[in-house]
Amino acid sequence: MIMQATEVTQLMQKLGHHDRGHQVGAAEGGALALGADHACGAAAHAQAIVAEMFQMFLGMVTERRNLSDDAMKLVSDGRVFIGRSALSLKLIVRDRRRVRGDRLARERARRDEIAACARS
């Protein structure tokens, strides 16, 4: 999981935009302002938020896909898994009923759209 920030303060000022932020707490100067020089350990705080969100995501995947901790260690290093490899690792589920239901819903929407055009 990556949280990316770009320093755009000077660019925005050149464009005539002056940001006004609101905050609660002791951090001064917009602690999580994108790209600004961070005071009060805001960069470390932002990193902690990313790490916490990543752990929450891993917990949800582990629970919802019924994976062991060892299985999660294999897939949680930042690599991307698609298709058959994701299917074999239980990161995705192949459900033919859902695929068929989605296809039927699209066909019904097309028929409804054609009927609405014909009535106009």
The string of pLDDT tens digits covering residues 51-75 is 888 899 899 989 988 899 888 888 8
Sign of the Cα pseudo-torsion (32, 35, 36, 38, in order):
positive
Q: Is the pLDDT of residue 3 over 80?
A: no
Closest of 103, 104, 108 to residue 116, by C-alpha: 108
Give the mean pLDDT of 10-25.
70
Spatial separation of the C-alpha atoms in residues 18 and 9, rounded to whole Å: 9
What is the Cα Rg of the chain in Å? 23
Closest of 73, 49, 50 to residue 61, by C-alpha: 73
pLDDT of residue 31: 45
